[in-house]
Amino acid sequence: MQQSVEQAIRKYLEDLDGELPCNLFDTVISEIEQPMLKTVLRHCDNNQSKTASCLGINRGTLRKKLKQYHIEH
């Protein structure tokens, strides 16, 4: 997985054609975090406690992130 992420970031930077990226950290995190939250939530049958446990975060943090990304549960 790490190699895939490295390749995607490298490609993104190359596609900028010399331009400096803005907020690269936040951009990458949100691109990974949102689909991860959706996928794990689905895998846990929309059970927030199970999802939070699976992700290693508390339920309050999970709820905050679901709201941040407008993910319906």
Could you tell me the two tokens for 21?
């990226």
CB 70 within 8 A of CB 38: no
CA distance 29 to 33: 6
Query: Is residue 10 pLDDT above 90, yes or no?
Result: yes
With 90 as the cut, is the pLDDT of residue 63 above it?
yes
Q: For the chain, what are the domain ranges?
A: 22-73
For position 8, what pLDDT does the model report? 92
Is the pLDDT confidence value at 1 over 90?
no
Q: What's the pTM?
A: 0.80
Share of the chain above pLDDT 90, in %: 95
Of residues 1 and 56, more confidence is placed in 56
Give every CB contact of residue 10 below 8 A, 6+ residues apart in sequence.
none
pLDDT in tens, 21-38: 999 999 999 999 999 999
**Does the domain spanning 22-73 belong to CATH 3.30.450.80?**
no
Which two tokens mark 57? Answer: 């975060």
